[in-house]
Amino acid sequence: MHITRGFTGRPRVAGPGLPPGQYDAGDDWPVLSAEVTPELAPADWTFRVDGLVAEPRTWDWDEAHRLPPSAYEGAIHCVTSWSKFGVRFTGVSLDAFLDVVRPHGSATHAVAYSHTGYTTSLPLSDLTGGRAWIAWEYDGRPLAPEHGGPARLVVPHLYFWKSAKWIAGLRILDHDEPGFWEQNGYHERGNPWEEQRYSGD
Amino acid sequence: MTQAFVPPTRFAVPGRIAVNEQAASEWQTATVTEIRRETPRAATFRLAVPGWPGHLPGQHLMVRLTAEDGYAAQRHYSIASAPDDSGHVELTLDHVEGGEVSGWFHTVARPGDRVEVRGPVSGFFAWPGDRPALLVGAGSGVVPLMSMIRHHRARNLAVPLRLVVSARSPQELIYARELGAETTPVFTRSAPAGATVGRMAAAHVAPLLAEQPSGGWEAYVCGSNSFAEHASRLLVTAGQPVHRIRIERFG
Ligand SMILES: Cc1cc2nc3c(=O)[nH]c(=O)nc-3n(C[C@H](O)[C@H](O)[C@H](O)COP(=O)(O)OP(=O)(O)OC[C@H]3O[C@@H](n4cnc5c(N)ncnc54)[C@H](O)[C@@H]3O)c2cc1C
């Protein structure tokens, strides 16, 4: 660590929920995606879970909405160093989908992929136990396309590149298979509290 | 073992190069050697980074500033210089009003100051100079695109390269002196006599897309999110395939 001459940083209140190296973006919600925002209507949206599962299955919009509703309220953290507090996503807990497909005992990881083809990889343990959602509403309103609408994955305890926008499915695997940013140098897990930004962190 | 996973749709454009993970994870001390004003709001900061592992045009790095109490702020900055600038990289920063990091660079930094950098990170937006490239940028979004243009010139590459760049006015067009025949400027607030004022439109990109070099264009779009949304839609409407558009959003 090297002290930067004359740098004091902005006056800050060390919020208890702010991971190291992050700042509170307030009302801003920056958009960071490497692809063109797709025009995807709810009627064309589907969500599939397959791979190492007992019963692979695809849900359409109405079927997914018949699962028990669940909401996440709290903070999200982007690797580009902003965090956002008091966000509210509504949708369905990923557990509800996994309970139906029943992952094999050998399953350890998942690749989440979007309708655009974006991929991101996660340990299965980060997707279960009420810590991950398929969300279609933000703050009580339909999720905007540039934020992943009609539906996105939300895994709020990891950096937000893991929360694939325009989610199309999960492939359950027995090994880690790096996704888009993971192949481009980002960390395989991405825990903001440990500042796991780049591979090797 | 399950087989390699292939996503069902077409985006998933691979990164153009493998990132050097070792370099991406280690902080290095960089010394400011020169500061050049580009526009009233933007300046270029030349940094000596003795252990710089090299980069490709389009890549960015991470800058970290640390206060005496240990507080650190880090931000991403695109690399403006061409790869051949051995041991040095140049960054061009917009002075963001109230900005923590850009504010320090613009009001405090002077030659001799040291900051920390790591990278280059992310190979997705990189352009090795192999395919025809259609560059579309606005504001400081022209920074990584300029690295590509400088690389193209330094290496005398024959592969087609075009830039459509949007700025508020000629005075705010970053690198104005350096831009040449490859560039179509678009001015949104005030323009030189005879030129029109207005937003980037289909008319600016359609003629370039009509050119269609062999193998087609790889499009690189860079700027604010609202610009990136607008420009990428223009390109798609004008016929550029979705999976051949790479977007870097500055937030
Ligand atoms: C891949 C990538 C490449 C980039 N390349 C470039 C580049 O080449 N050139 C360039 O100029 N920029 C680039 N950026 C943007 C850059 O990373 C920074 O976001 C930008 O410089 C602003 O940082 P800052 O610290 O100056 O401002 P910040 O302190 O982050 O502030 C940004 C805005 O939010 C407000 N704000 C934020 N937090 C607070 C707070 N707590 N209190 C009050 N106000 C607040 C500020 O007033 C300001 O308007 C790039 C971004 C990315 C993601």
Options 3.20.20.150, 3.40.190.10, 3.90.420.10, 3.30.70.20; CATH of A42-194: 3.90.420.10
Residue A174 vs residues A51, A103, A109, B145, B240: alpha-carbon distances, Å? 9, 10, 6, 41, 38
Q: Where exactly are the structural domains of chain A?
A: 42-194
Q: Which residues of A touch B245 (CB under 8 A)?
A: 35-36
Three-state DSSP class for B25?
Answer: helix
Task: Please choose, from the candidates B220, B154, B161, B216, the residue with its C-alpha nearest in 3D space to the C-alpha of residue B16.
Answer: B220
Is the predicted ipTM greater than 0.85, yes or no?
A: no
Distance B102 CA to ligand 1 centre (A): 7
pLDDT tens per residue, range A3-15: 999 999 887 666 7
Indicate the pTM of the whole model. Answer: 0.85
Question: In a structure prediction context, what are the per-residue pLDDT tens digits for chain A, which is 201 residues long?
Answer: 799 999 998 876 667 789 988 888 888 888 888 888 988 999 999 999 999 999 999 999 999 999 999 999 999 999 988 999 999 999 999 999 999 999 999 999 999 999 988 999 999 999 999 999 999 999 999 999 999 999 999 999 999 999 999 999 999 999 999 998 888 778 999 999 999 988 777
- B115 near A CB under 8 A: yes
**Radius of gyration for chain A, computed over Cα atoms and rounded to the nearest angstrom:** 17
Helices then strands, counting H and E runs in chain A, come out as: 3, 11
Give the closest-approach CA distance of B239 to chain A in angstroms: 13
Shortest-distance atom of ligand 1 to CA B250: 51
Question: In a structure prediction context, what are the per-residue pLDDT tens digits for chain B, which is 251 residues long?
Answer: 344 444 444 443 444 555 555 666 789 999 999 999 999 999 999 999 998 988 999 999 999 999 999 888 889 999 999 998 889 999 999 999 989 999 999 999 999 999 999 988 877 899 989 999 999 999 999 999 999 999 999 999 999 999 999 999 999 999 999 999 999 999 999 998 888 899 999 999 999 999 889 999 999 999 998 999 999 999 999 999 988 999 999 87
Ligand 1 pocket test target in B79, B92, B102, B225 with most atoms within 8 Å of CB: B102
- B181 near A CB under 8 A: no
